[in-house]
């Protein structure tokens, strides 16, 4: 049976998250920032062939929300959801921060 390839789409929010991370690291080292950018993009690219590999986000799962999954690339969490043959990368968070606080900040900004 042929392997299904999924389309991986980065939301604007996730792109902004990634830009913020890279800009922060670039203040100290452009080379390190580029390396992190490549690592995060490469990790997310693994979702093309097997999007179910990530775990359900535990903080959301405890509230019965199971459609969001994540890949860990310490210290970052790449949060995504699968919709048919498309994987939407919706956020990239620093795992050292409280996810619930981060989500609350985002809700309050909108």
Which residues constitute the domain of residue 16? 7-109
Is the residue at 1 inside a domain?
A: no
Domain count along the chain: 1
Q: Give the CATH number of the domain where residue 75 resides.
A: 3.30.2310.20
CA-nearest of 54, 89, 91, 95 to 76 is 95
Joined together, the tokens standing for residue 95 give 């795992």
Using a pLDDT cut of 90, give the percent of the chain over it: 73
Is the residue at 101 inside a domain?
A: yes
Using a pLDDT cut of 70, give the percent of the chain over it: 93
- Distance, in Å, from the CA atom of 91 to the CA atom of 11, rounded to the nearest integer, reads 8
pLDDT at 62: 87
Q: How many residues does the chain have?
A: 110
Mean pLDDT taken over the chain: 90
């Amino acid at each position: 049976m042929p392997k299904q390839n999924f389309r991986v789409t980065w939301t604007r929010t996730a792109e902004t998250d990634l830009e913020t991370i890279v800009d922060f690291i670039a203040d100290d080292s452009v080379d390190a920032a580029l390396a992190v950018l490549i690592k995060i993009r490469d990790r997310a690219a693994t979702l093309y062939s097997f999007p179910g590999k990530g775990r359900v986000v535990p903080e959301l799962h405890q509230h019965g929300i199971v459609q969001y999954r994540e890949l860990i690339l310490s210290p970052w969490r790449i949060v995504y959801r699968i919709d048919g043959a498309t994987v939407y990368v919706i956020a990239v968070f620093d795992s050292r921060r409280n996810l619930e606080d981060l989500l609350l900040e985002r809700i309050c900004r909108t």
